[in-house]
Structure 1
Amino acid sequence: MQADGFSLYSLIGLETAADPAFVLDGTPVSRAEFSLKIDQTAAWLAAQGIGKGDVVAVWLVNRIEWVALLFAAARLGAVIAAVNTRYRSAEVAHLLKVSGARLMVMEAAFRAIDFAAILADVSRADVPALQRLAVVGADAISAQWPCVRFDAFDKACPPASLPHGGDVDLPVLLYTTSGTTKGPKLVAHSQRTLATHAASVAGALQLSPQRHSLLAMLPFCGTFGMTSLLAFIAAGATLHVLDAFEAEPALKMLSAHRITHVFGSDEMFRRILALTDAPRLFPHAEICGFAAFQPGWRELAADAEARGVPLFGLYGSSEVQALFSISRASDAFADRIEGGGWSMSPEAKVRVRDTETGELAAAGASGEIEISAPSRFLGYFNNPEATRDAITPDGFFRTGDIGHLRGDGSFVYETRAGDAMRLGGFLVAPGEIEDELKSCPGIADAQVVAVDLKGQARCVAFVISAAAPPPQDALTAHLRERLAGYKIPARIYVVDAFPVTDSANGVKIQRARLRAMAMERIAAE
């Protein structure tokens, strides 16, 4: 069904929109140019045999090609699978296998990341659906797959007969997310869920095309970066884009341009503020929205406030999209910096369920946050069982997050429930790292926990050896070839057995005891 008001394409038709639409590495892209690039990319994808329901993996840094691919896929009814640029071979292989991607558009290399070398460690037999690669700025980079150059923007204007919109309720974008399962799940969103949430964010923040602009410093491959991108496209405001976050260029852009909005992690803002002693920063900034992943975020927020950087607490997830909620300028400072706040959409509903009794909790009582909203995902791609487990009978998403309601209608995010770890700003399942450790010769079993190490969330591994265990350097080197850097354990300890508890439901690993053991050993060092 076609409903243009809910299509991604409907976001770019604002008559009062500012020009340029984007500024990438100092190069402006007008709205007319952006629209042309979408058309060119749609024609290029169609020439590659991509049509309705086909999945295209996108493994790119922040560039105009990324955005054009998403809008072009929506036009054709195809699906984009977003590949985290920090992924390594095991993670890339998992995403390609689960998504069934036929084509992957990718970088050849970017700064210290050799994408081609990472892909070389992916076996073609493990990802049978992948037919070819399209490389930005390079030709053949792989001996395993046919390669073409991504040259969509060099092509002539496409014929008018191409499809225009697709079904707004079918999947169009897949994010990766980890819970407590072995590998990342793929969170499916439609044009409707993306476009309606983008419009809600633009409306809730009262974004003006001529008065507001965004510094896009978060990766487009994640919901945090993509949601803010789409919201400012919907508002018709200009986006200044960093291809990948670095504190120094971010500081320069915030200082040199009339940037009014920027979103990021607490660590991003910490790095930016550390570069300067200036007492008053970013005079045009209205909202600096942040998600707190590291210890000491309250102290960071106080320092930022004293220097004229207004931090606002946020809440979101891949399943309900980032910027799901935000605090308000009228809130007291201590409340404004808390994660949570008020939902961007007036149609969203938030409730809290007591994890012990299963009953809905009253205001002030902590429990699991459940959400019903137009921004809610369609489900986990090709994983109906996980989808059923995540959705209540009446349609609320079980977030796995702990928080409480306030009496004024807002809510507060407190912590993540369960075993999932927040590392490097990403939610990581221990099983991802544990399985890679157990694949090493000499390792019989492994457990991974997160700890606070010098103010940063890091993971520590405990392993049981089957024979003479390999040196820690060898284990670490193996993991670095397979996993993103933020998943590499800071320490790997060999133990005879894991602490366990016998219960009616079986033997359970005492993960709290493992965390305590990790901190004790680190302190002893």
Structure 2
Amino acid sequence: MHADDFSLQSLIRTETAGAAFVFDGTPVSRAEFSQKVEQTAAWLAAQGIGKGDVVAVWLVNRIEWIALLFAAARLGAVVAAVNTRYRSAELAHLLKVSSARLMVVEAAFRSIDFAAILADVAKAEVPALQKLAVVGADVIPAHWPCVRFDAFEKPCPPRPPAESDVDLPVLLYTTSGTTKGPKLVAHSQRTLSTHAVSIAEALTLSPQRHSLLAMLPFCGTFGMTSLLAFLAAGVTIHVLDAFEAAPALTILSEHRITHAFGSDEMFRRILALTDAPRPLPKAEVFGFAAFQPGWRELAAEAEARGVPLFGLYGSSEVQALFSIGRAGDAFAERIEGGGWPMSPQARVRVRDTETGSLAPHGVSGEIEISAPSRFLGYFHNPEATRDAITADGFFRTGDIGRLRGDGSFVYETRAGDAMRLGGFLVAPGEIEDELKSCPGVADAQVVAVDLKGQARCVAFVIPAQEPQQEPPQPEALVARLRERLAGYKVPARIYFVGAFPVTDSANGIKIQRTRLRAMAVDRIASE
């Protein structure tokens, strides 16, 4: 990448030998990918997409996903990444907040019925959406006109002029909010490409020696950031359309993969499939995010079997792989969340949550970050952006951690009440609002608990006191939520209560979530 070129296009090293991507055994060279980008840019332009227009992408990991992002960058358009696990309420919120004009959607994938989910989204909820482009079919049943996404079937058009402003929004990630529905985190070509190059340099990636298994969804920063970094390094990237442990293990072993990134649960499932003492002899850096209990034991087992796990840190706002442990760190420190920032320009500090002053090394507080990878802001939400950024440009992460004193830091926990479910950060208010929209529900509170080794949520519901109305049934509430929300957000238990435990503080009456968690644990134990 040239020092003055921060475009996504600069990450495609066409002079590098070997495949850029391998999808289901089919290689795609860098030259072929560049051609697909040009075809896709021309196709988007033919659909009326231009500078500032938003295209929602609701696809599994496929070459079309990446081509759409790079093509949007060429046109000055914006891609809104849609989680394939989203259901109607989440999809409608994203489409409304992003004002997406076009959505590129899968015809079908495994058990996901995209058409049925779309059928539950009213046209009035998303007035900006004009049409759907379907991958894998000519049309799907929908309220909107459909076209086939056939960009790759058309001859390569003349090269359109590229949008030169690399600081415009180009990619929107979703992140948890404090109320119903996530905020949209806006990144530019500059923030994406500079961070990709920083990772490639920090990990000293080599096209001749290294390879990546991309097993995380492109719709999130964890999957997309690792993809862009290894593309920038000229490294061959093997892609899973969606994670499954068995094909992941096959690719890791047969193609002698050196790098992979995922959750602790993903690596746990992969290692459980083989009894080999050293199943992946070429493994160099397997970065993991710890979302489940027992991650330290997993890391120790992996280490004993020659699979080196590295703790890391990131967020949609500063991008995934913001930092990572180093090979020279002591094992116990290397596997902790946090580590060393990838960019030499990144700055991490910790603010004492009690005093508001900066905390010294070793003292826990809220992590604040300034870095080239920092987001532009929350899309169409200047108030939330102002709240998230300090006067001197640091992002208030909402995470608790401490500085080590050697340039690295430790992530300890999430501040506030946000829950980590299914590998995703979820605001309780999002689930609570859906529950409160159900007939017979007056109020609801949701907390996270450890259920059989997995983080799950439990809901407490106050029934409506209306004589003519039947009290709600837990089974009916669960069924409704399954239609409206991703599976990992559906409560494992719903308990009815007459009131929530509260405390009367100087700032008003507050619900005691700690008490609710204890109540949830006690009730589950009594079952």
Q: TM-score range by the shorter chain?
A: over 0.9
Task: Tell me how far apart the structure 2 counterparts of residues 3 and 45 of structure 1 sit (CA, whole Å).
Answer: 29
1:178-257 aligned at under 5 Å gives the runs 178-257=176-255
Most deviating of 178-187 and 119-128: 178-187
Deviation at 1:3, TM superposition (A): 8.9
Give 1:52's aligned residue: 51
Q: Percent identity?
A: 84
1:227 counterpart letter in structure 2: T
Give 1:87's aligned residue: 86
Task: Tell me how far apart the structure 2 counterparts of residues 19 and 69 of structure 1 sit (CA, whole Å).
Answer: 22
Q: What does the per-residue CA deviation read over 1:23-58, in whole Å, with 9 as the maximum and x for residues that have no partner?
A: 000111111110100000000000000000000000
Alignment of 1:506 with 2:504, yes or no, is: no
1:93-242 aligned at under 5 Å gives the runs 93-160=92-159, 162-242=160-240
Q: What does the per-residue CA deviation read over 1:134-189, in whole Å, with 9 as the maximum and x for residues that have no partner?
A: 000112213410000000000111123x1214410010000000032321000000
1:201 counterpart letter in structure 2: I
Give 2:381's aligned residue: 383
Q: What does the per-residue CA deviation read over 1:271-309, in whole Å, with 9 as the maximum and x for residues that have no partner?
A: 111111111121111000000011110011011111111
Give 1:357's aligned residue: 355
Task: Tell me how far apart the structure 2 counterparts of residues 289 and 282 of structure 1 sit (CA, whole Å).
Answer: 15
Task: Tell me how far apart the structure 1 counterparts of residues 416 and 179 of structure 2 sit (CA, whole Å).
Answer: 11
The answer (yes or no) to whether the contact 1:171–1:191 under 8 Å persists in 2 is yes
**Which ranges of structure 2 fall in alignment gaps of 5 or more residues?**
none
2:399 counterpart letter in structure 1: D
The answer (yes or no) to whether the contact 1:254–1:282 under 8 Å persists in 2 is yes
Task: Tell me how far apart the structure 1 counterparts of residues 206 and 380 of structure 2 sit (CA, whole Å).
Answer: 39
Most deviating of 178-187 and 304-313: 178-187
The answer (yes or no) to whether the contact 2:115–2:142 under 8 Å persists in 1 is no
Task: Tell me how far apart the structure 1 counterparts of residues 76 and 402 of structure 2 sit (CA, whole Å).
Answer: 39
Most deviating of 313-322 and 269-278: 269-278
**Which ranges of structure 1 fall in alignment gaps of 5 or more residues?**
none
Give 1:491's aligned residue: 493
Give 1:268's aligned residue: 266
The answer (yes or no) to whether the contact 1:7–1:165 under 8 Å persists in 2 is no
Q: What does the per-residue CA deviation read over 1:226-274, in whole Å, with 9 as the maximum and x for residues that have no partner?
A: 0000001100110000000000100111110021100000010011111
Secondary structure, counterpart of 1:459 in structure 2: strand
Give 2:10's aligned residue: 10
2:99 counterpart letter in structure 1: G
Task: Tell me how far apart the structure 2 counterparts of residues 514 and 307 of structure 1 sit (CA, whole Å).
Answer: 40
The answer (yes or no) to whether the contact 1:9–1:165 under 8 Å persists in 2 is no
With over 3 angstroms needed to count, the CA separation of the structure-2 counterparts of 1:209 and 1:3, relative to structure 1, is: closer
Alignment of 1:520 with 2:522, yes or no, is: yes
Give 2:76's aligned residue: 77
Give 2:471's aligned residue: 469
1:304-323 aligned at under 5 Å gives the runs 304-323=302-321
Task: Tell me how far apart the structure 2 counterparts of residues 13 and 33 of structure 1 sit (CA, whole Å).
Answer: 12
Deviation at 1:4, TM superposition (A): 5.9
The answer (yes or no) to whether the contact 2:14–2:30 under 8 Å persists in 1 is no
Deviation at 1:14, TM superposition (A): 5.5
The answer (yes or no) to whether the contact 1:340–1:413 under 8 Å persists in 2 is yes
1:324-335 aligned at under 5 Å gives the runs 324-335=322-333
The answer (yes or no) to whether the contact 2:285–2:309 under 8 Å persists in 1 is yes
Alignment of 1:34 with 2:33, yes or no, is: yes
RMSD: 1.1
The answer (yes or no) to whether the contact 1:213–1:259 under 8 Å persists in 2 is yes
Task: Tell me how far apart the structure 2 counterparts of residues 370 and 378 of structure 1 sit (CA, whole Å).
Answer: 16
Give 1:290's aligned residue: 288
Secondary structure, counterpart of 1:502 in structure 2: strand
Task: Tell me how far apart the structure 2 counterparts of residues 28 and 101 of structure 1 sit (CA, whole Å).
Answer: 32
2:47 counterpart letter in structure 1: Q
Q: What does the per-residue CA deviation read over 1:436-492, in whole Å, with 9 as the maximum and x for residues that have no partner?
A: 111111000000000111111000000000044322111110000000000010000
Task: Tell me how far apart the structure 1 counterparts of residues 451 and 400 of structure 2 sit (CA, whole Å).
Answer: 23
Secondary structure, counterpart of 2:402 in structure 1: strand
Q: What does the per-residue CA deviation read over 1:403-439, in whole Å, with 9 as the maximum and x for residues that have no partner?
A: 0000211000000000110000000010110011111
Task: Tell me how far apart the structure 1 counterparts of residues 460 and 400 of structure 2 sit (CA, whole Å).
Answer: 27
With over 3 angstroms needed to count, the CA separation of the structure-2 counterparts of 1:98 and 1:29, relative to structure 1, is: same
Secondary structure, counterpart of 1:110 in structure 2: coil
The answer (yes or no) to whether the contact 1:352–1:361 under 8 Å persists in 2 is yes
The answer (yes or no) to whether the contact 1:178–1:428 under 8 Å persists in 2 is yes
The answer (yes or no) to whether the contact 1:180–1:418 under 8 Å persists in 2 is no
Task: Tell me how far apart the structure 1 counterparts of residues 462 and 503 of structure 2 sit (CA, whole Å).
Answer: 18
Task: Tell me how far apart the structure 2 counterparts of residues 428 and 412 of structure 1 sit (CA, whole Å).
Answer: 22
2:526 counterpart letter in structure 1: A
Task: Tell me how far apart the structure 2 counterparts of residues 434 and 108 of structure 1 sit (CA, whole Å).
Answer: 31
Task: Tell me how far apart the structure 2 counterparts of residues 512 and 423 of structure 1 sit (CA, whole Å).
Answer: 18
Task: Tell me how far apart the structure 1 counterparts of residues 3 and 378 of structure 2 sit (CA, whole Å).
Answer: 24
Q: What does the per-residue CA deviation read over 1:384-414, in whole Å, with 9 as the maximum and x for residues that have no partner?
A: 1100000000000000000000021100000
1:437 counterpart letter in structure 2: L
Task: Tell me how far apart the structure 1 counterparts of residues 17 and 370 of structure 2 sit (CA, whole Å).
Answer: 33
With over 3 angstroms needed to count, the CA separation of the structure-2 counterparts of 1:251 and 1:184, relative to structure 1, is: same
2:277 counterpart letter in structure 1: P
Task: Tell me how far apart the structure 2 counterparts of residues 505 and 98 of structure 1 sit (CA, whole Å).
Answer: 31
The answer (yes or no) to whether the contact 1:179–1:427 under 8 Å persists in 2 is no
Task: Tell me how far apart the structure 2 counterparts of residues 120 and 315 of structure 1 sit (CA, whole Å).
Answer: 37
Secondary structure, counterpart of 1:197 in structure 2: helix
Deviation at 1:209, TM superposition (A): 1.1
1:119 counterpart letter in structure 2: L
Deviation at 1:506, TM superposition (A): 1.2
Task: Tell me how far apart the structure 1 counterparts of residues 196 and 56 of structure 2 sit (CA, whole Å).
Answer: 22
TM-score (norm 2): 0.98
The answer (yes or no) to whether the contact 1:74–1:166 under 8 Å persists in 2 is no
Alignment of 1:419 with 2:417, yes or no, is: yes
The answer (yes or no) to whether the contact 2:176–2:426 under 8 Å persists in 1 is yes
Secondary structure, counterpart of 1:422 in structure 2: strand
Most deviating of 346-355 and 4-13: 4-13
With over 3 angstroms needed to count, the CA separation of the structure-2 counterparts of 1:151 and 1:9, relative to structure 1, is: same
Most deviating of 121-130 and 3-12: 3-12
